[in-house]
């Protein structure tokens, strides 16, 4: 496991022992791993970093309401099939149905692409925000997760030669089915401690000043203590520090009040949240006073 931690570190992903263990087991058992946590804590980035660490392709399926199997698995290339029919007619030939439903006319979507990845290492398959998909689509993934296989009616069952390393993420907008959870390892990613958060931010914004990074991560912790609609995560903290760094700010208490208010849009994403933090004042934000 130490080698994986080292590889993730080299891939600029700061990982705690719990997540490192979950990812290590996902690779070595192998078994899908379900990562849950608040938005912006690094669930998606964990899969990306794992692919970089293993030097293997990342195949990402972004889930959304209404996604169906065709969009996730495969579609038939109907324009190409139609062209083949017309070319055959021009030659006074006749195509059988089996001639048109072969792999030559198959459009591979992310799930099939991950299963058919030729190796030598398995691909990392990220099924992102599965909680946004419908129950039916979630059930559709069971065969893939349990057997590393899918069924295409015209071609039969496709089984992976190199079963992908599967990372599923959820923001818990709805509860996932118990049958899916039974097939997965589970890990909850919490907000990192301020010192770890500052280290993550500095990895992502290497030209940022250390005092600014420490100030910003502490300020974000204060913001999360408010009753915000969308508490900021690590991703928003990175965006904020990147914006302040671009503006030449060395530390948070060196920011003019007007500029501080302007840049809050990098870290807060609703009018109500902005007004709540603005009402606290710059002194509260920088920790120099209590509101």
Is residue 44 very low, low, confident or very high in pLDDT (cuts 50, 70, 90)?
A: very high
- Whole-structure pTM value: 0.84
* Cα gap 126→138, rounded to integer Å: 14
**pLDDT score for 289:** 64
**pLDDT score for 185:** 95
Could you report the per-residue pLDDT of 127-152, keeping only the tens digit for each?
999 999 999 999 888 878 888 888 88
- Contact between residue 287 and residue 236 where contact means Cβ atoms under 8 Å apart: no
What Cα–Cα distance (Å) separates residue 119 from each residue in 57, 98, 110?
A: 9, 29, 16
**pLDDT score for 14:** 87
């Amino acid at each position: 496991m130490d080698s994986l931690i080292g590889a993730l570190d080299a891939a600029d992903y700061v990982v705690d022992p719990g997540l490192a263990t979950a990812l290590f087991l996902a690779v070595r058992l192998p078994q899908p791993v379900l990562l849950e946590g608040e938005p912006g804590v690094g669930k998606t980035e964990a899969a990306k970093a794992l692919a970089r660490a293993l030097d293997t392709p990342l195949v990402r399926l972004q889930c959304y309401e209404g996604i169906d199997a065709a969009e996730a698995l495969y579609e038939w290339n109907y324009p190409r099939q139609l062209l083949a029919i017309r070319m055959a007619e021009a030659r006074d030939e006749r195509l059988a149905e089996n001639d048109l439903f072969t792999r030559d006319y198959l459009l591979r979507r992310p799930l099939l692409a991950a299963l058919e990845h030729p190796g030598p290492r398995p691909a990392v398959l990220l099924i992102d925000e599965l909680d946004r998909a419908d129950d039916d689509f979630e059930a559709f993934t069971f065969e893939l997760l349990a057997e590393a296989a899918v069924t295409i009616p015209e071609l039969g069952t496709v089984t992976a030669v190199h079963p992908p390393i599967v990372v599923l993420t959820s923001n818990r907008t709805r509860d996932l089915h118990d049958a899916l959870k039974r097939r997965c390892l589970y890990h909850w990613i919490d907000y990192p401690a301020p010192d770890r958060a500052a280290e993550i931010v500095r990895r992502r914004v290497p030209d940022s000043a250390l005092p600014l990074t420490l100030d910003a991560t502490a300020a974000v912790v204060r913001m999360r203590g408010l009753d915000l609609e969308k508490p900021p995560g690590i991703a928003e903290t990175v965006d904020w520090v990147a914006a302040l760094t671009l503006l030449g700010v060395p530390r948070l208490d060196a920011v003019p009040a007007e500029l501080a208010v302007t840049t809050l849009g990098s870290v807060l994403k609703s009018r109500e949240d902005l007004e709540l933090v603005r009402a606290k004042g710059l002194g509260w934000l920088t920790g120099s006073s209590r509101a």
